[in-house]
Structure 1
Amino acid sequence: MNRLLFFGCLLTQPVFAQAPDSLTVEARVWSRDKNRQIVYSDWKPFRAMTVERLNGFRPVSSPKLSTYGGDASRTWRKTGFFRTENVDGRWWLVDPEGHPYISLAVNSVRPGQSPNNRKAFDESFGNPDRWIAQTKQVFNRAGFTEAGSWSEVDPIRQYNQTTPKPLVYSVMLSFLSTFERDWKTKHPNTELPPAPLLVFDSTFAQFCRDHARRADTYRTDPNVLGYFSDNEIAFTNSLLDQALKAPNTPAYRAASDWLTGRGSNLQALTDADREAFQGLVAGVYYRSVVPALKAIDPNHLYLGTRLHANAKYNPAIFAAAEPFIDVISINFYGQWQPTKASFLKWAAWSKKPFIITEFYTKGADTGMPNMSGAGWLVRTQADRAVHYQNFCLSLLQARNCVGWHWFRYQDNDPADLSADPSNNDSNKGLVDTRFVAYDALINGMKSLNDNRFELINYFDKTRK
């Protein structure tokens, strides 16, 4: 059987057949100009599918869910922790009680720290306990079950001790970014190499063993989905050239030895060399990080490094990660929705399921500048909800997808001078800078999120 045809079986067919099942939303496309400055296109129409327009689909209003948000109508093997399982060709997460589970998370569940944010926090909540309890109510209204990467986990852990319906969470450990910071401190007079090349440093493996001890805090917590070890590592085509420009470094020796063994010409590098070298770097990274992490916590899922940009389309990186990951994490920007072509590639390159761990759109109706961050711009909060449904309906048709994580909990505050450049002026949140929820957005999210298991059944039956 043709390989792509085989992997096409992972998808329901067709993906987004248009016609009366879709509507039109106007959006402005985000991109960078030749000077790397953010620019938007003019308003353009995009087709979008929504739950209410699916032919023959009948939504439910009160799904039967488990303690963690799994499908309570089915029970598989219980382990007390989250795990993965492939059932009849579809990948699932399985919650600690043994129920099929889809990861529905919001990233950066933490209160903003600008003066405006802190004032609103004090007026609305007064303390972290009230904040997380009310945030969980917002999540319930939107149908989310998890706090994703960069969330403030201590209030979540305390809240989970007081409720029969915990908020699932994931932990970001930041191995390489922490090592990079420490390396810079220890070598103040040495030019800092690209972060990925630091994996060849002789101290990196021991650092990983030491750093992994942080996971011991979470080792027995059933409410943890798993760990991200880093975010958007810069696996780029320039890594090989950069390594060869730095003689007498571990990266140079690793690159030159690898090229010699490969039979490549150091003076005439090819794009194939550059792509494969990224796989070498990724392999050293994963071999250093994951065994160290699993030695401390064998109970929880390893969720990878949130591949982005060209890295999410490099088969050498997928091959390097394959022996170590439980779930592939992918940050997805630049397209109105994930495509069948992407699903086929990821399925061909990996036997593991994937989660989309970042995506979002911004609304022009907030009056915010909306110039930072990679999300596209739509006109209203209701349009943000339509984009969300369209995006996630495409994911539910991919039988190797086990969830998605929206970026992020709260809008950027333009008055926050401490914010990083990618998070300083945009409407990304479920709530605004004063912690007020966007009702039109979360209502649209809920109508899809609450029907996730029914939608999977619908698409799988349509496929047969």
Structure 2
Amino acid sequence: MNYDSRNAGEGEIRHTLEWNQSRLYRGSMNWQEDGRACFTCPEEGLDYLLYSRAEDRSVRLEDFAYLCLKPEVCEEHSMCFQLSFYENPAEEGHQPPAQEPQMRIIFGLLPQVETMVPFDFRILDSQVIFPERTPGRLKMSIFGKPVRLCDIGQIRLQTAPGFEAFHFAADKCFFTDAFPDCSLQKKQLIDELGQWTQKDWEGKLSGREECTRRLRALLEEAETSGDHFPFPDWDEFGGWKGKTFQKTGWFHTERENGRFWLVDPQGNAFLSSGLDCINPGVETRVGPVRDFIGEQAAKGCKEIAEYRPGTIAMSHDKKDFLNFGTENLKAAFGEGWKESWMKIVKHYLLSWGVNTIGNWSNREFIRFARMPYVIPMDAFCEEGFPHTPEAIFRDFPDVFSPAYEESAVRYAKGLEAFAQDPYLIGYFMRNEPAWAFVYGLNIAEEMLANPAQTVSKDVFVERLERRYGEVSAFNEAWGLELDSFEKLKKGIYKAASLSERAAADLQAFSEEMITRYVEIPARELRKVDKNHLNLGMRYAYITDKSLLCGSENFDVFSINSYQITPLEPVEQVSGWLDKPVMVGEFHQGALDKGLTAHGIRGVTTQKERGCAYRYYVEQGLTNPYFLGAHYFQLNDQSCLGRFDGENYQIGLVDVCMQEYADMTQAMRECHEGMYRVAAGEQAAWDRVPEDIEPIHY
């Protein structure tokens, strides 16, 4: 490791890390003519030791604010990188420590563009799960509990497993106390329609004239088609006339011979084939990628918000976005573009057999379509999900504070406008709470580690004082040496590791906190609306059984599941709760069309996407607790990244609203038979798709 004092700008102190073959645990490297290191990442992924406290004794991480890398992906597709932070491993040398890293930071990069990637050490407190983008970088995600710089024993640079060997070149790698130069080379990567310029594929449009012609043809088809589902045994809601239950005028649940069903307002059995994010196009976040957008296209986005060096956040000014999909519609239909879009989309949904408008969909379209729908409640309150001035950990509020109950009352008022609508199936209380992404998380432990003074902490300390009486008895149980209970409020790091009694006390209070987190707003929602279903929290995955606390307030438990089938999480949750389950998100993507990343699930081709859809949904239908799943999403994401940098080929339509026919035909066939599969009258689709390691971040 090289020490360079004030070598990159006045006042800056930098430590440069020289690439070294001896620090490579998995993969290989050589040197290019331009002096950069070129890495070959095997299918199982690269593993390189960037920093070792045992070996790099001259470096004090606490002296620096950033770790900076400058890679360039050599492939035609994006790549996913990972930094792993290990707390003082006992083992020395280059082998990975036996334990899991305390924290993982993953991020994506576009292909063939050299990009400076700074890691702000402030994010090691794990209070932010998705740090704001820096120039050129795609999405970054934080996984794990907080870690202190003084405790870091190793930092390893890794790449995600790939479907083949991947390559990247890397120039600079260094620690610094100043924000680095993140300038990008100008390179047009997206055309005026929003299509990726760096490759061709079947169906790619030649330009504006062809796009307009295609969109107008779609509108003509939509206006001449029937306004109904193509299946004769479906009613107007998309319910199944082959099985009837009590008619209440609202969606509700029934159980027959162990099988759960939704029931539509006409009393017919209903399973939810949903589609999330039904909106005109997807916005591109321009600020971080302006140098990759052509001048003609960039005219649609003015007064771009600029990055402020030295800060974690970038501006969320709406002028920082450009929606190519919307621009294409405006060019084709002028002032009437929104109505034209709605007609085309409703035609698509009916023809595909999609009977539910999913989360984050356009509100005008919901009113226009007159189809069953669900809503994300936190999107219908200006302040979002109930919160408090002081948070416990990430977005987990101070649930014993009166401010939480007051916020819950305001939150529930957002449901008033929907309480009498029979097309509303129900509401999700929120989506993927950031606090719930951490495996083994104990909210009460994080509450004690947080120096903030909260009502929840006061309640917990009072409980402990009543339980133990004397502080000496408490000290003996917890393995501490405090002179008063009040000292607990100043903060204790990793308190659950102190003793078995400490872990038990914290776990019990953590579960009580999560229960309050759910039941207080759920109670207020039920006061506003007794007609519709509470569909739960849409957890990303079950990181700890404590996430089930408060679920007695749900009519349906919801989870987002990106596995090859939803069976494992559905069986897990239903086995614990004996409650029906709905999947809020899943998808599959391929690289044969348009974009440079698959999404969370990857397959080889568009045809295999269709196979994967059928396999996912129909295998799920074999479980009697499964009420349906909502595909994420209608549109492909932006080639250059949406607001957070995701750029996945996951849509049912591309940026010019052309459907992926292999995918949508398979969906139509799936939906036509899904009720008979659920009733046991038809076998489920059983061909396993050609699943491959996906590119996602």
TM-score above 0.5, yes or no = yes
Deviation of the 1:191 alpha carbon: 8.1
Does the 8 Å CA contact 2:239/2:269 hold for their aligned counterparts? yes
Query: TM-score, normalized by length of structure 2?
Result: 0.53
Q: Does 1:138 align with 2:367?
A: no
2:665 counterpart residue number = 443
Give the whole-Å Cα distance in 2 for the aligned partners of 1:142 and 1:262.
60
2:596 counterpart residue number = 369
Matched residue of 1:127: which SS?
helix
- Change in 2 beyond 3 A, CA 1:170/1:262: farther
Gaps of 5+ in 1: 1-27, 45-60, 161-165
Matched residue of 2:584: which SS?
strand
1:292 counterpart residue number = 524
1:225 counterpart residue number = 425
1:329 corresponds, among 558, 576, 584, to 558
Give the whole-Å Cα distance in 2 for the aligned partners of 1:104 and 1:283.
30
1:421 counterpart residue number = 644
Does the 8 Å CA contact 2:633/2:651 hold for their aligned counterparts? yes
Please tell me whether Structure 1 or Structure 2 has the larger radius of gyration of its CA atoms: 2
2:139 counterpart residue number = none
- Change in 2 beyond 3 A, CA 1:175/1:386: closer
| Alignment of structure 1 residues 41-440 onto 2, 5 Å | 41-43=161-163, 62-111=231-280, 112-113=282-283, 114-124=322-332, 126-157=336-367, 159-160=368-369, 166-174=370-378, 179=383, 193-233=393-433, 234-235=435-436, 236=438, 237-247=441-451, 248-256=453-461, 265=478, 267-268=498-499, 276-311=508-543, 314-322=544-552, 324-333=553-562, 335-340=563-568, 342-370=569-597, 373=599, 375-415=600-640, 419-421=642-644, 423=646, 425-440=647-662
- Change in 2 beyond 3 A, CA 1:350/1:362: same
Give the whole-Å Cα distance in 2 for the aligned partners of 1:30 and 1:377.
13
2:106 corresponds, among 37, 47, 52, to 37
Question: Quick one: which amino acid aligns to residue 121 of structure 1?
Answer: L
Give the whole-Å Cα distance in 2 for the aligned partners of 1:318 and 1:183.
20
Question: Quick one: which amino acid aligns to residue 448 of structure 2?
Answer: L
Give the whole-Å Cα distance in 2 for the aligned partners of 1:304 and 1:182.
15
- Change in 2 beyond 3 A, CA 1:254/1:129: farther
Give the whole-Å Cα distance in 2 for the aligned partners of 1:278 and 1:177.
27
Question: Quick one: which amino acid aligns to residue 654 of structure 2?
Answer: D
- Change in 2 beyond 3 A, CA 1:430/1:259: farther
Give the whole-Å Cα distance in 1 for the aligned partners of 2:392 and 2:578.
36
Question: Quick one: which amino acid aligns to residue 105 of structure 2?
Answer: R
CA offsets per residue over residues 143-162 of structure 1, 9 Å max, x none? Answer: 111111111122321x14xx
- Change in 2 beyond 3 A, CA 1:198/1:429: farther
Deviation of the 1:365 alpha carbon: 0.8
Gaps of 5+ in 2: 1-77, 85-103, 108-158, 165-229, 284-321, 469-476, 479-494, 685-697
Give the whole-Å Cα distance in 2 for the aligned partners of 1:303 and 1:133.
29
Does the 8 Å CA contact 1:361/1:428 hold for their aligned counterparts? yes
Query: TM-score, normalized by length of structure 1?
Result: 0.77
CA offsets per residue over residues 37-59 of structure 1, 9 Å max, x none? Answer: 25543339xxxxxxxxxxxxxxx
Question: Quick one: which amino acid aligns to residue 402 of structure 1?
Answer: L
Matched residue of 1:86: which SS?
strand
Deviation of the 1:176 alpha carbon: 12
Name the one with the larger helix percent. Answer: 1
Give the whole-Å Cα distance in 1 for the aligned partners of 2:667 and 2:467.
50
Does the 8 Å CA contact 2:557/2:579 hold for their aligned counterparts? yes
